[in-house]
Amino acid sequence: MTVPTPPPPPGGAPAGPPTDPGLRVNADVGADVNADVGATPVSELVGNVARDLSTLVRQELALARAELRQEAVTTGKAAGALGAAGVAALFAVLFLSLALWAGLSHLMDAGWAGLLVGVLWGIAAAVLAVTGRSRLRDVSPTPERTVDTLSSVPDALRGRRGGTP
């Protein structure tokens, strides 16, 4: 089997490889395009396909690894920024609480003002704890959709869909 060569482009210049600098052309690919495939043993063809498939899988895994590494770095930077924001918020709440205490100490004794600020923070903590506990009760530890999907895998391997014969 032979592959016809494309006609030269207008102007007489021979067609060459693409000139896109980001595009890499593998010189081995297509080197034996004009070779007679019928003369090649099937075992060699299967070996070539297996080798190419193995190379493709390795390259895809390397690409996935590189993408995950890049995402992990981005996620780490984002987590660091959120952690720093949390520390800044803690200091803001602390100093606002001290300012409230100082402001209330002009109206009442400083000890009572500190106690009042502490009680306000205790009420806020209790409300947040009750809210968090009620939301935590709604969490289901079993990944139900995954369990459902995995239960249909044996049927799919047998050639059935959705557990029906």
Residue 26 in any domain: the answer is no
Structure confidence by residue, pLDDT tens digits, 62-82: 898 889 899 999 999 999 999
Q: Which amino acid makes up residue 68? A: L
Residue 22 in any domain: the answer is no
Label residue 89 by pLDDT band (50, 70, 90). Answer: very high
Which of 24-28, 37-41, 58-62, 103-107 has the weakest average pLDDT? 24-28
List 164's β-bridge partners, or say none. Answer: 161
Tokens of 136: 């935590």
Q: How far is CA 118 from CA 17, 97, 98, 106, 163, in A?
A: 75, 9, 10, 17, 60
CA dist 5 and 16 (Å) reads 12
CA dist 27 and 47 (Å) reads 20
Residue 151 in any domain: the answer is no
Q: Does 164 have pLDDT greater than 60?
A: no
Q: Which domain holds residue 107?
A: 42-139
CA dist 97 and 91 (Å) reads 10
CA dist 37 and 47 (Å) reads 14
Residue 1 in any domain: the answer is no
**Domains in the chain: how many in total?**
1
CA dist 1 and 67 (Å) reads 40
Structure confidence by residue, pLDDT tens digits, 16-34: 444 544 444 454 555 554 4
